[in-house]
Amino acid sequence: MSQSSVRQIVCMKWGDKFGADDVNRLYSMVRANVQGEMRMVCFTDRAEGIDPAVHCLPLPPVPVVGNRLDRGWRKLGVFGPQLAEVFQGDVLYLDLDIAVTQPLEPFFELPGEFLIIKDYKPFRYRHRFSGNSSVFRHRAGAFQDLIAEIAARGEQIRSDFRDEQEVLSDYARRKGLLRYWPNGWCASFKHDCVRPLPLGLWLPPRLPDGAKVIVFHGRPKPEEAVAGIGGKWYRPLKPAPWLARYLG
């Protein structure tokens, strides 16, 4: 792991799914949970309204995706040369729809060249080792051949892999670098916080012991979770007011 004392964080915002407020909220949560000096970069196609403390850069190009702003394939742009122009050493990538509930220092201190969340529903993938890319760490500029590989495979890559998480996990596995965050560090709101039936009909979601980050993949999103909106018949959702203190 890099010995740099500056904690380096990167996020991405494109299209209209997220706004500047989401970036600012993430920055506020990270700043409150990182000791000492930190620097945060946001790759975005629209920087208006983002806190000046966040260094905004244009979205890196990603082969196959082109100008399309679909799903998470844009994330693979962090492995291009643009990030290495502003950062050296370990960089922590964070999705915008997370809640930081404990200090982030362990995410920088854990040894390894590439760490990612073990996916919560691995049976969705043809490769059971696939990770969830809401929170991952890599070394800036170290994996630039991934972009070249995507370009070489062309449109076929979108048939060979379900999403960018599977592409990334497969690449890291073949390099012998795939490592997962310890169990419980990155809790899924809908799988680890929401109570299963029938308890969810009357008990509110809980904050699991040891959870440092709550991940909101799919629905509900953080604001919906606070209000108890976005549940399904098989996953009823009561309000989670405790979550508001982490969202600022």
Dump the DSSP string for 50-66: --TTEEEEEPPP-TTTT
Tokens of 186: 């990155």
Rounded to the nearest 10 degrees, the angle between the axes of helix 145-153 and helix 164-174 is 120
Per-residue pLDDT tens over the stretch 44-63: 999 999 999 999 999 998 88
Per-residue pLDDT tens over the stretch 108-140: 999 999 999 998 875 555 557 889 999 999 999
| pTM for the predicted model, two decimal places | 0.93
Distance spanning both ends of the chain, measured CA to CA: 31
- pLDDT at residue 144, rounded to an integer: 84
Whether residue 34 has pLDDT greater than 70:
yes
Alpha carbons 106 and 97: distance in angstroms, whole number: 20
CB 198 within 8 A of CB 219: no
> Binning pLDDT at 50, 70 and 90, where does residue 244 land?
very high
Domain 7-180 has CATH 3.20.20.210: no
Alpha carbons 46 and 28: distance in angstroms, whole number: 19
> Binning pLDDT at 50, 70 and 90, where does residue 3 land?
very low
The dihedrals phi and psi of 29, each to the nearest 5 degrees, come to: -65, -45
Distances, alpha carbon 221 to alpha carbons 37, 73, 97, in Å: 29, 20, 7
Domain map (residue ranges) of the chain? 7-180, 186-247
